[in-house]
Amino acid sequence: MVLASTVLASAFFKEGKFVQAFPSFGAERRGAPVMAFTRVSNQEIRERFGIYKPDCLVILDPSLTKQEGTFSGLNKGGWIIINGEGNPDDYASLDLYRVAAIDANSIARKHKLGSPSTPIINTTILGAFAKVTQEVTIESVVASIRENSTVKPEENARAALDAYGSIVF
């Protein structure tokens, strides 16, 4: 997700926005949840602190939807984009928010990103983000993926395009 936040910031920058991208790590152990943030503005950003009231959450592991605190601070009516095999109706308990679901794992496997057991979905989910939020164009996202992906840039770009075309919300 750290790379995804950087690529997303790059895409917004291409469109003339001011951006910040930064990670936040909890307990440093393999498999621990990691948060990454992207702050976007039409004006110069002077803040240098965490984002406590996000407009959108991107959740790569659907099991995190069951953890307490996952949605704390998310603005009412904000977007939640979930990587999962279900559809938005499966998350009826999140009725304060707008929910979109995408099976990013299957898309990443189709494009041979990562391994079959551990697909790499960070760039795939950005295509879904572009479609759902309409805040950044898919063209800027794809260009940023091609520039920032050191491994399989074309496959990553195609995965984002697939997600853009198949996100359910």
Is residue 32 very low, low, confident or very high in pLDDT (cuts 50, 70, 90)? low
**pTM for the predicted model, two decimal places:** 0.91
pLDDT at residue 28 greater than cutoff 90: no
Percentage of the chain surpassing pLDDT 70?
95
**Side-chain half-sphere of 61: how many Cα atoms within 13 Å?**
12
pLDDT higher for 156 or 62? Answer: 156
Lookup: tokens for 43: 């004006």
CA distances from residue 120 to 4, 67, 123 in whole angstroms, order as listed: 11, 22, 8
Instruction: Report the pLDDT value the prediction gives residue 122, as an integer from 0 to 100.
Output: 94
Q: Mean pLDDT, to the nearest integer, of 21-47?
A: 83
Give residue-wise pLDDT tens across range 97-138: 999 999 999 999 999 999 999 999 999 999 999 999 999 999
Lowest-pLDDT choice from 25-34, 67-76, 91-100: 25-34
Q: What's the whole-number average pLDDT of the chain?
A: 92
Q: How far is CA 96 from the centre of its chain?
A: 20
Q: Which CATH superfamily is domain 43-166 in?
A: Pyruvate-ferredoxin oxidoreductase, PFOR, domain III (3.40.920.10)
SS3 state of residue 139 = helix
Which H helix or E strand runs over 3? helix 2-14
